[in-house]
Structure 1
Amino acid sequence: MKKFFFIYFAFCLQFAFCQKISLREIAPKNVANTENIVKYLASQLKDRYMKNKATGTYYDDIFRINIINENYNLSLSQLDSLRNITMRNNSVTAGAMGSQFEIYINTIKRAPNKNNFDKIYEEEFKKKYEKLPLKSQIILSQYFTYDPIALKKDISEIITSNIKHDSIDISDAIKLCRKYNIYDVGNKTFKLGAQLLKNFEKEVFTIYDSIKVTTKDNGILTLSVVVNNKAPKPQSTILLNTIYSDLKNINEAKKLASDNYAGVILNTRGKYLSNNSIEPFEHEVEDINEAINWIIKQPWSNGKVGMIGGSYLGFSQWAATKKLHPALKTIIPQAAVGIGTEDFPMNNNIFTSYAIRWLNYVVNSKMTDYADFSDVKKWNSTYKQWYITGKPFRQLDSISGKSNIIFQRWLNHPSFDDYWKNMIPYKKDFSNINIPVLTITGYFDADQLGALYYLKNHYKYNKNADHYLIIGPYDHSGAQGYIKNELKGYTIDSVANIDFNTIWIEWFDYILKNGKKPSFLKNKINYQVMGTNQWKNVNSLENISKNTLRFYLENNGLLSDVKISDKSFSLLKVDLKDRSDADELLELKNEIVENKIYTKNSLIFTTNPLDKSFELSGNFSGKFKFSINKKDVDVYVYLYELMPDGKYFLLSSYMDRASYNKNNEKRNLLTPNKKETISISNNKFISKKIEKGSKLVAIVGVMKTPYYQINYGSGKDVSDETILDAKELLEIKFYNDSYIDVPVIKE
């Protein structure tokens, strides 16, 4: 028995540490031939690649591998398995995905000797195209675009860099096969397929691309229009204003046209064919109105316009309402950026390092620089270099490789001043917004604070605001319709996986075509309570929860429901000069559900186990009484549920620059060693069932990370401070009369 165990153990070790494929069996003359290498690897992978079998990733890899193996029937079967998995979340994508390979396979099966290949390919293409629903037909074009030069380079790099000692890791072999598969099939068929697709689409849509509109101040705007030939005219228009110029955007307009609307893409001034400078966020207030003026004069327009889109596109809809055009009848802002307010490019007046990465993404070219944006290694290196050298935040753009005029312009406006206010509705501007609005955001949406800034102020300044909200366990992309079943360690409730696309079209039909209101909208505020598998509906955010549990910060690390003293305190010392933690900070995953949490440069306060379960719905609030030996400080709070199984669930987070706490429009420096007060607000909204036996954990600390400005407390403009301004240790006392209020709905 003991002998068997050691043999078995040795076998397991061999399997665990030999996830490589040897290339020694290939003749030397064939090793230099890419096709021979790939075919050999594919023959080995068909039996050895078993990781995550029955998942979408597995089938997406293996069906391509078996195309290379010329095992076509098996490949088609595996492609069907991939589609069935995808169907659960996105039927439109499931229908279209892999069509380029399916058509190729069916052509090869009918024309193995390449006789009449093009003719048979056209027949197979038409057969597949006509079987697809219209919306799947629309996105088909994205499967027939590729860059053969880039693919060839990638293939060469994988072979050169990853074949070592006559072997290659299985993961690298899979990447190589995928790249080669696209390159090979693409060279043989994609050009033909793309042309056939254009011919078929002409029967359904009329497409006007590259339309130029000149504004009153001589700016140039570029529009693309798609009209459904089979829909009655004139028709309402759905407008998307985007800074992410891409030829694929026309597909979004086609989707809208398939629902019998004219779909219009407006590229932000300076993008696509515009010769103006690219100045993000600065021109939407006027430019969108100019575009609407052009739209309503077209023969296919009935004079009614709606808008939709997420992130920057969400911001742009609110910009359009600042000077509301009579033809703009409704907006659906998703994950809308609250520019200059609470989320981007600064969170409660603290600038984010991500700002320069995003700016390069959109201003590097007239299109969108995906390659630069996706270069995580480059950006982490940039953030690290800035962090460890202690240079001014203002030099972050130069450290990244080139200066950026917009980045510098933003840093010159650290307060929420007129520069930012001119881009979006501000205070009484909201009183004039009398159109219906449907806002979408998520508990884990990076722009949730922006999305709720608009909603809260709309209701504050317009008591009759016709404004609906859908909020649930979604991240930034989820709030734009790309819902994930598992989100950073958390599996969402089944009821949270809703069909946003159907709701949005129902909303447009409701407003623009006098249809029925979407049945999903039971009240103005619609929120999903995580852990209960149910949605709740109330008429205002304020009515979600009027009850709170108050917890004080005791100096023994306890979050206590009893106030002990206002004279004792918890002391935190932070060395702002210490940069030995750079790599550790850059590698933090920031999961929603974690086994352990990061606690450096912070204090930990924990409640006793909770004796009852309850629903936590809303924003935690509170007041921190503190004193510091500096003129300013950036503080943060992370609120967790420490669940009975020992895992931490991130409920909400908050960061703030103390000198702006009382007024984000004007900086008021602190008096060193004087007791001050920070009011906690502008943090993330969440709704979740808190289990009996859980504990609440508050991590209270000082911001010191490569991902945000570092406030050294000298009182100078934080963008100009350097590590030389750190001087003595930062010492901050959190007094025991500091507290956190947690919103609760008791069961």
Structure 2
Amino acid sequence: MKKFFFIYFVFCLQFFLCQKISLKQIDIKNVPNTENIVKYLASQLKDRYIEKKDKGIYYDDLFRINIINENYNLSLSQLDSLRNITMKNSSITASTMGSQFEIYINTIKRAPTKNNFDKIYEEEFKKKYEKLPLKSQIILSQYFIYDSISLKKDINEIITNNIKQDSIDISDAIKLCRKYNIYDVGNKTFKLGVQLLKNFEKEIFTIYDSIKVTTKDNGILTLSVVLNNKAPKPQSTILINTIYSDPKNINDAKRLAADNYIGVILNTRGKYLSNNSIEPFEHEAEDINEAINWIIKQPWSNGKVGMIGGSYLGFSQWAATKKLHPALKTIIPQAAVGIGTEDFPMNNNIFTSYAIRWLNYVVNSKMTDYADFSDVKKWNFTYKQWYITGKPFRQLDSISGKSNIIFQRWLNHPSFDSYWKNMIPYKKDFSKINIPILTITGYFDADQLGALYYLKNHYKYNANADHYLIIGPYDHSGAQGYIKSELKGYSIDPVANIDLNKIWLEWFDYILKDGKKPSFLKNKINYQVMGTNQWRNVNSVENFNKNKLKFYLEHNGLLSNVKISDKSFSSLKIDLKDRSDADELLDLKNDLVENKIYTKNSLIFTTNALEKSFELSGNFSGKLRFSINKKDADLYVYLYELMPNGKYFLLSTYLERASYNKNNEKRNLLTSNKKETISISNNKFISKKIEKGSKLVAVVGVVKTPYYQINYGTGKDVSDETILDAKEPLEIKFYNDSYIDIPVIQE
């Protein structure tokens, strides 16, 4: 036995050591010797880099490493392997990716000296460019964007911080090689490549990138316009309104021009070349109409305009319908933000900490501050500092490093009041929206509540609404066309991986060019049932409310389909002063499929094993009947499927400030220790086959996390409450006549 453990110890030691590369042969203190360090590491990695489960990452790393090794034929072969993998998701991306390196390699192979490098590079560039489809040519420019200063800084930091005791972890060595590969090839060729691209594109497109339009109230809007030189004029225009100003946005307009539309990018007021203040969401309802007025007066316009875009861009399309311009013929809002109380910057009247991170992202400059937004460590530290110190939520911006006027303005509107209502259609405004609309969202889209708010209200106030929905197992980016085959531990059904870009183009052709309606749209509501590999279609969201299973919250932790008593209850006690869980909460992965679930500050209710499978499609609903020793509380219900394999699948989430449950426009405080009732609604829609033998699990609790405001229950403005307001622990009794309704379609 001792011999076995000794052998096992030696094996583990060898395995550990093989994860490092010795650098004793290199003078690592000589920073200018970076090239020699990288070349040595690349020579070691070619034999020691173990094949990864993700073949895409594996080949992406290898072909770069072998460029450094000057093994060019092998590198090109590995790049081809990477493209073949990517082809499954996007042929346009697959044919283009790595072109900057392919052109460089082919130039080096023909021009080993510098004498005629530029001339041969131009020949190779042109050869590659002309082989690419037009839409691949359009995105080629994104592969020639890089920041040499940042890359050099990153390279030096890896060498300084990750080389220890004359060795480096293989993972860090790979990072270093990747950074150096881009830095080296970029310095040698990218400037020349960018200029060649501009020259070639002039033959295909006419681009106007700095157009200014003055609004009636003297606001300045900046537009970029792309015309296809080979397409007949006039044409219909597709308008994209964005707050994420970036030179790369012009590629979106080029793609539209490639499909024989005029592509127009509208930067929101205050962004790009506008000298106005940046005030997100506040001016779209008027400014988009001003832009459309300008568009339809141009000689290349036929007077028809459509809009497309996701997230903020999706919201802006709905803002445009509040005062619908006659020339706006259709919109395709993807993952549209439900500004106000739906999903941002509040979820059912609970402000999210993410709001200040997003605001810095868009208001720090006239462009978009990617570096600040991507600094996860900074933002987690900010959230943690606010959480553990117990300062008022109103100070979150200062804790992050600087005050923010818009953040403070938002906090002054905790109800869905006129400030928010002025930004989007409200009630009867929807009755005047008579254009065809195609909405896209996903079961795991952070802005699903917003997307469905617009859809449901359009149907509610306009009986003849010509409004279609596509919804499937997509997150926020998936609903914008970037569908992931694997999503937080869940592998989507193959049938869910649809070509949304193709459907969107068919929709525009259908509305603006009298083409055929997209064949994918079988009915108004098109949804994918997870676990069945099938799409289903109904004519109304009301179809999902016809059949429901009712489960009561019993005091013994059972979700029972039989009502026992309305006097018994389940108790929950929470110390709102306790912040010892900060790191634990910040580290939660929130995967869709989990081995265990987080149960702190909550009660767990579970059904018996289900005797037969069924389709759960729609929004769960119900009533929570409870009493509390405070004047308010922020409550949540997370609904899971505990599958026969013992893993939990997150089906839907519900969060709400209890005092706004009856009316999100006016706060109604609770009466301490009096039995109250709130309705569960406005939660995530989902469609999934629930397997026989599974159990449904409801996690019911109180919101206490660094990611949201903390409601101490005093009745004061929650943004002004502090940890000093916590006082005695929050005590809540959930009575056993509380229930949830599960929408089902029996098989």
Say if 2:483 is the partner of 1:486.
no
1:307-337 per-residue CA deviation (whole Å, 9 max, x = no partner) reads 0000000000000000000000000000000
User: How far did 1:543 drift?
Assistant: 1.1
**Distance in 2 between residues matched to 1:575 and 1:213, nearest whole Å:** 55
Provide the C-alpha distance between the structure 2 equivalents of 1:158 and 1:628, rounded to a whole number of angstroms.
53
Contact kept? 1:639, 1:650, Cα under 8 Å: yes
Give the corresponding residue for 1:314: 314
| Structure 1 CA distance for aligned equivalents of residues 40 and 466 of structure 2 | 63
SS class of match (1:79): helix
User: Offset at 1:14?
Assistant: 1.5
CA distance in 1, matches of 2:54, 2:589: 27
Q: Note if 1:252 corresponds to 2:220.
A: no
Match of 1:45 in 2: 45
Unmatched runs of 5 consecutive residues or more in structure 2: none
Counterpart for residue 499 of structure 1: 499
Give the corresponding residue for 1:332. 332
User: Following the alignment from structure 1 to structure 2, what is the Cα–Cα distance between the partners of residues 599 and 488?
Assistant: 20
Deviation per residue, 1:215-253 (Å, 9 max, x gap)? 000000000000000011000000000000000000000
What is the CA–CA distance in structure 2 between the aligned matches of 1:608 and 1:164, rounded to whole Å? 55
Amino acid at match of 1:97: M
Distance in 2 separating the partners of 1:17 and 1:68: 24
For residue 399 of structure 1, what is the aligned residue in structure 2?
399
Mapped contact 1:637–1:655 kept (Cα < 8 A): yes
Tell me if structure 1 keeps the 8 A contact 2:39–2:69. yes
How many pairs were matched up? 747
Provide the rounded CA distance (Å) in 1 between the counterparts of 2:378 and 2:2. Answer: 51
CA displacement, residues 253-292 of structure 1 (integer Å, 9 cap, x when unaligned): 0000000000000000000000000000000000000000
Amino acid across the alignment from 1:505: L
- State the AA in 2 paired with 1:561: N
**Aligned residue type for 2:554:** E
Aligned partners of 2:669, 2:328: CA distance in 1, in Å?
A: 43
Which residue of structure 1 aligns with residue 14 of structure 2? 14
* Conservation of the 8 A alpha-carbon contact between 2:339 and 2:420: yes
Q: Is residue 68 of structure 2 the alignment partner of residue 78 of structure 1?
A: no
Q: Which residue of 2 aligns with 1:425?
A: 425
**Alignment partner, residue 205 of structure 1:** 205
| 1:457 shift after superposition | 0.1
1:11-43 superposed Cα distances (whole Å, 9 cap, x missing partner): 344114541111002257867500000000000
Q: Which residue pairs with 1:434 in the alignment?
A: 434
Q: 1:646 to 1:53 in 2, by over 3 A?
A: closer
- 1:197 aligned counterpart, secondary structure: helix
- Tell whether the 8 Å contact from 1:545 to 1:745 is kept in structure 2 after alignment: no
Name 1:692's counterpart in structure 2.
692
Question: Are the counterparts in 2 of residues 612 and 691 from structure 1 also a CA contact under 8 Å?
Answer: yes
Give the match for residue 156 of structure 1. Answer: 156
The DSSP-based 3-state class of the residue aligned with 1:495 is: helix
User: Is the aligned partner of 1:93 residue 2:93?
Assistant: yes
1: CA distance, partners of 2:8 / 2:70? 36
Deviation at 1:341, TM superposition (A): 2.8
Q: Which amino acid aligns with 1:43?
A: S
Calculate the TM-score normalised by the size of structure 2: 0.99
For residues 432-476 of structure 1, give each alpha carbon's deviation from its aligned partner in whole angstroms, at most 9, with x where no partner exists: 000000000000000000000000000000000000000000000
1:226 maps to 226
Structure 2 partner of 1:677: 677
Q: Which residue in the other structure is 1:622 paired with? A: 622
Matches within 5 A, 1:122-521: 122-521=122-521
Q: Distance in 1 between matches of 2:545 and 2:470?
A: 17
Structure 1 residue 115 displacement after superposition: 2.9
User: How far apart are the structure 2 equivalents of 1:696 and 1:270?
Assistant: 49
Residue 701 of structure 1: aligned partner: 701
Give the Cα–Cα distance (whole angstroms) in 1 for the partners of residues 480 and 512 of structure 2: 21
Report how far residue 360 of structure 1 moved: 0.2
Amino acid at match of 1:77: S
Deviation at 1:664, TM superposition (A): 0.1
Contact 2:548–2:741 (8 Å) recurs in 1: yes
What code does the residue aligned with 2:299 have? P
Matches for 1:627-642 after TM superposition, within 5 Å: 627-642=627-642
Instruction: State how far apart, in whole Å, the 2-side matches of 1:597 and 1:628 are.
Output: 25
Give the % identical residues.
Answer: 89
Q: Is contact 1:239-1:264 (8 Å) kept?
A: yes
Shift in CA distance, 696/29, structure 1 to aligned 2, threshold 3 Å = closer
CA distance in 1: counterparts of 2:412 and 2:676, whole angstroms? 27
Measured in 1, the distance between the counterparts of 2:33 and 2:150 equals: 19
Work out whether residues 28 and 37 of structure 2, in 8 Å CA contact, stay in contact via their aligned partners in 1: no
Contact 1:108 1:114 in 2 (8 A): no
Give distance in 2, aligned partners of 1:726 and 1:627: 18
Aligned residue identity for 2:416: F
Amino acid at match of 1:567: K
Per mean C-alpha deviation after superposition, the further-off stretch among 638-647 and 536-545 is 536-545
CA positional deviation for 1:77: 0.3
Distance 2:6 2:548 in 1: 59
Letter in 1 for 2:594: E
Q: State how far apart, in whole Å, the 2-side matches of 1:267 and 1:710 are.
A: 35
Is the Cα–Cα contact under 8 Å of residues 31 and 156 in structure 2 kept in the other structure?
no
Q: Secondary structure at the match of 1:704?
A: coil
Matched, 1:710 2:710: yes
Change (3 A) 1:513 1:18: same
Aligned to 2:663: 663
- Which residue of 2 is the match for residue 734 of structure 1? 734
SS of corresponding position for 1:33: helix
Q: 1:260 to 1:417 in 2, by over 3 A?
A: same
Tell me, yes or no, if the aligned pair for 1:30 and 1:37 is still in contact at 8 Å: no
Cα distance between partner residues in 2 of 1:90 and 1:3: 54
Distance 1:46 1:186 in 2: 22
Work out the CA distance in 1 between the residues paired with 2:109 and 2:510. Answer: 49
Deviation at residue 3 of structure 1 after TM alignment: 5.9
How large is the Cα RMSD of the aligned pairs?
1.2
Aligned letter for 1:365? S
What letter matches 2:154 in structure 1? D
User: 2-side partners of 1:743 and 1:331: how far apart?
Assistant: 30
* 2:69 alignment partner in structure 1: 69
The match for 2:562 is 562
The one-letter code matched in structure 1 to 2:291 is A
Q: Which runs of 5+ in 1 are unaligned?
A: none
* CA drift at 1:207: 0.2
SS of match in other structure, 2:656: strand
SS in 2 for 1:624: strand
Q: Measure, in 1, the Cα distance between the counterparts of 2:501 and 2:714.
A: 50
1:111-135 deviations in Å (ceiling 9; x for gaps): 1122311111011000000000000
Matched, 1:36 2:62: no
2:324 partner letter: L
Q: Name the amino acid aligned to 2:718.
A: V
2: CA distance, partners of 1:707 / 1:272: 31
| One-letter amino acid of the counterpart of residue 305, structure 1 | V
1: CA distance, partners of 2:356 / 2:17? 41
Deviation of 1:208 (Å): 0.4
Indicate conservation of the 8 Å contact 1:549/1:744, yes or no: yes
Question: Are the equivalent residues in 2 in contact too, given 1:30–1:36 (CA < 8 A)?
Answer: no
Moved more, 142-151 or 656-665: 142-151
| In 2, Cα distance between equivalents of 1:32 and 1:440 | 51
> Counterpart of 1:623 in 2: which secondary structure?
strand
Q: Distance in 2 between matches of 1:201 and 1:28?
A: 44
Contact 1:242 1:313 in 2 (8 A): yes
Instruction: Normalising by structure 1, report the TM-score.
Output: 0.99
Q: CA separation in 2, counterparts of 1:11 and 1:185?
A: 40
Distance 1:371 1:30, change over 3 A: closer
Shift in Å at residue 737 of structure 1?
A: 0.3
- Whichever residue aligns with residue 703 of structure 1, its letter is V
Distance 1:182 1:435 in 2: 47
- Tell me how far 1:91 sits from its aligned partner: 1.1
**2: CA distance between counterparts of 1:386 and 1:216?**
42
Question: In structure 2, how many angstroms separate the alpha carbons of the residues matched to 1:193 and 1:336?
Answer: 36
Provide the residue aligned with 1:23 in structure 2. 23
Distance 2:50 2:4 in 1: 25
Residues 485, 492 of structure 1: 8 Å contact kept: yes
